[in-house]
Amino acid sequence: MNSMQEAVQKAYAAKGMALEALKAEVPNLEQGELPWKLVTHLHPDTDAMVCIWAATRFLVGTNEEVSYHFVRSGETLLPDEMAGFRVLHMDTGLGELDQHALDYTRTSSFELMCKKYGWLEDEALRPILEMTIATDNVEVVDPTSVHYVLKGLHYHFYDKETKESDWGEVCGNAFLILDLLYGQWKQKVKARKDLTVHAGFNELKGGVRFTTILTRPQLRDAAYENGADVVMWTHVLDWKKRDKDFMVGIQVNRMSTVTLECVMADIREAEAKKRNVSVEGKNLQAHGKDSAFGGWYLHGSKKLIVCGSRSNPLAEGEQTMLAPGEIVNIIRNRLVRVFIPDRHNAKRQARR
């Protein structure tokens, strides 16, 4: 069984586990023609909003009818309001999906959902889960957290005349934000796994960690997470000419002290030789771009080198004449002379 088949099988198993667990909460679950009512408390906080988002995304079928209902905290819909519907109460009603009914510390109703429906293994849900736990336990949350965006939707869609928020707009926008966040984390989780397959890892003599991710620029954040000081990537423009028609990026981890002006000088010198251009009188370490060396550009921070980017595509003739392997060797040969004292000393100790 290959990795793709295993992933599909795992997804089906998780879905089956969720559906079996859901039967206990929604007795008429298998009556597929019935519309859904997803219920939480009035003025839903982050935990409650995430609960109804997750129910909509993972439990309700794609083409199934669903509506959202808000009750006083701790309460449920009345029996006649539930008749003829598949109803799920979350963060209210004092049931299995309401953390207020349990004497737990540091939990959330969304965590109860994750445990009940087998979602804890989904790494892309972990940041959303931690956000619900932190906010439900009155912990400090980063002021730029999505939590404050969700909180602000109620005020953004508040009608001063009716003195009510448009909860349809609130939910719709909240779901979009959570979909985007979940999608970003799914990509991040995938990138971490892909990095182990597609990256080249080098811990150089002086302690600098240099990672190459040729043709896969989307893996660079995962490379920094993995401890790289410097990452080089290529972005192929034409796969039929992928060794000639590509953009290049070389960037330093924000937490590293390494700088790239000497790397830039070496690359420009090698590019000049390819182009039969004289470097006499040139400051090869200057930031910015010099057309004599094609599209190579050094950022003023000295922590980023690019030869073309999505925001500044290469003009005709600006593509580098260096092959990817040549660029890798130039970077490696320069960075091997850079010393990070703690790591270099540790290497020396290990050799004794």
Cβ atoms within 10 Å, residue 17: 14
Which range, of 15-19, 52-56, 87-91, 171-175, averages the lowest pLDDT? 15-19
pLDDT of 238 above 80: no
List pLDDT tens digits, range 113-146. 999 999 999 999 999 999 999 999 999 999 999 9
Tell me the whole-structure pTM to 2 decimals. 0.82
At residue 105, the pLDDT reads: 75
List pLDDT tens digits, range 276-288. 999 999 999 999 9
At residue 6, the pLDDT reads: 52
pLDDT band for position 3 (50/70/90)?
Answer: very low
At residue 8, the pLDDT reads: 38
Q: State the DSSP string of 255-294.
A: T-----HHHHHHHHHHHHHHHT---TT--TT-SEE-GGGT
Domain ranges of the chain: 3-194, 200-351
Mean pLDDT of the 146-159 span:
96
